[in-house]
Amino acid sequence: MAGIYIHIPFCKQACTYCNFHFSTLINQKAPLLNAIKEEIILTPSHDNCSNTIETIYLGGGTPSLLSFNEISDLLSVIRKKFSVASNAEITIEANPDDISKENLEKWKDIGINRLSLGVQSFNEAELKWMNRAHNASQSIQSIDDIIDKGYDNFSIDLIYGSPLLNNEDFIKNVKIIFSKNIPHVSCYALTVEPKTVLQSMISKKKSAPVDENRQAEQFIILMKMMEEYGYEQYEISNFAKPGFRSRHNSSYWQGKPYYGFGPAAHSYDGKNIRRWNIANNALYLKSIEQKIIPFEEEKLTDTQQLNEYIMIALRTVEGIDIDKMKKVFGEKYADTILMNAQKFLENKKLIYQQSKLMLTKEGKFFADGIAASLFF
């Protein structure tokens, strides 16, 4: 079993905080989509997994910019190349300004059964500061339309900790989740990435810097409110009502194999090979024209695989499975990680239950630092 990720590297405009690979040159869309379809055809199957696809994720960029026919053609090529499970989870990332009742109906007709909506905020001033293409009323309307058209499985993205977002306004954002009974939420702290508009704005004093203390406060508010309303924090940044975990993202965290198609897309064979396509549209196109997939590849060492497991597992509600570590990596490593975890157990940032190391609520804000301390 495997998953597929397709990277659609086009956006209407650049958000201030974004460092993903994308282009606003929408006129390049047709040749690049043809190249992605050719890459799918050229790609050999992973040796250690069946050809059955359980999840498909159209991400970006902004895949909702594509026409119905463009999306349909991509999915048709996938279905000809692979065996797609009848109950496959098929997700499209969409911006609120691209949501229409017509699009929702057509997407459902070609098998799209899950939406990931890039709301980011319900605060008008914050959306303008982020340079988002939509406004707050479009966000609300798009959610209403999604529900009206029978999509019971959908998610929204929210950002917390921006310089414009006080705790009161953040609480208002979160309350909208509950009022609309949204089944899944991915919520991320605003990060100042290199070479972004946001980094430039802060360095030129055109924006206040990110306040890490406020981010911590809002993360605590988020966890408390989501728990009160019955959401499971199954990964640090992801909250779901029972039965609505993202199957695609969960497969990443469980170490399942996946194919990545398109510029900058990543693939994993489920064992020890990672590869990533070139993050340049023009060079990607040129290479595919020559029937060559332009990627780099890395074979993970045993230590890299172990550290990756620690980093990813610790972020999930299941935590680090010590029994699994013993079987896969050896008792020596399992014993060492328990010894290195002792200080975090003592300061109550970790707990150890049923042979699993898990973050406490207090530890979740320090997840990356704790994981780094446990690396080999």
Q: Is residue 137 part of a domain?
A: yes
pLDDT at 14: 80
295-299 and 320-321 as β-strands: parallel, antiparallel, unpaired? unpaired
Closest Cα to residue 103, out of 155, 133, 148, 135? 148
Q: Is residue 290 part of a domain?
A: no
Q: Which domain holds residue 11?
A: 2-253
Residue 335 maps to which CATH number?
A: 1.10.10
Q: Cis bond leading into 330, ω under 30°? A: no
- Element holding 231 (H helix, E strand): none
Domain count, the chain: 2
CB of 147 closer than 8 Å to CB of 160: no
- Claim to verify: residue 185 and residue 248 sit in the same structural domain: yes
| Among candidate residues 228, 253, 278, the one where a domain is terminated | 253
Q: Is residue 297 part of a domain?
A: no
CB of 231 closer than 8 Å to CB of 183: no
- Claim to verify: residue 239 and residue 320 sit in the same structural domain: no
- Claim to verify: residue 180 and residue 71 sit in the same structural domain: yes
Q: Is residue 41 part of a domain?
A: yes
State pTM to two decimals: 0.94
- Claim to verify: residue 107 and residue 25 sit in the same structural domain: yes
Per-residue pLDDT tens for 25-82?
788 899 999 999 999 999 987 655 566 899 999 999 999 999 999 999 999 999 999 9
Q: Is residue 172 part of a domain?
A: yes
Q: What is the mean pLDDT of the chain?
A: 94
Residue 189 maps to which CATH number?
A: 3.20.20.70
- The span from the CA of 237 to the CA of 160, in Å, is 11
Token look-up 């946001």 returns: 198
Per-residue pLDDT tens for 122-147?
999 999 999 999 999 999 999 999 99
Query: Residue 226: pLDDT band by 50, 70, 90 thresholds?
Result: very high
238-240 and 232-235 as β-strands: parallel, antiparallel, unpaired? antiparallel
- Claim to verify: residue 53 and residue 153 sit in the same structural domain: yes
- The span from the CA of 267 to the CA of 46, in Å, is 10
- Claim to verify: residue 121 and residue 184 sit in the same structural domain: yes
Whether pLDDT at 238 is above 80? yes
Higher pLDDT, 206 or 360: 360
Q: In 3-state terms, what secondary structure has residue 334?
A: helix
Neighbours of 193 (CB within 10 A): 12
- Element holding 275 (H helix, E strand): strand 273-277
Per-residue pLDDT tens for 311-329?
999 999 999 999 999 999 9
- Claim to verify: residue 17 and residue 132 sit in the same structural domain: yes
DSSP string covering 75-108, please?
HHHHHHHSEEEEEEEEEEEE-GGG--HHHHHHHH
- Claim to verify: residue 31 and residue 171 sit in the same structural domain: yes
pLDDT at 98: 96
- Claim to verify: residue 338 and residue 196 sit in the same structural domain: no
Q: Is residue 280 part of a domain?
A: no
- Claim to verify: residue 39 and residue 178 sit in the same structural domain: yes
Q: Is residue 258 part of a domain?
A: no
Which amino acid type is present at position 102?
E
Q: Is residue 270 part of a domain?
A: no
- Claim to verify: residue 211 and residue 330 sit in the same structural domain: no
pLDDT at 197: 85
pLDDT at 19: 78
114-120 and 83-94 as β-strands: parallel, antiparallel, unpaired? parallel
DSSP string covering 12-63, please?
SS--TT--S--BS-GGGHHHHHHHHHHHHHHPPPPTTS-SEEEEEEEEES-G
**Dihedrals phi, psi of 149, to nearest 5 degrees:** -90, 10
- Claim to verify: residue 238 and residue 162 sit in the same structural domain: yes
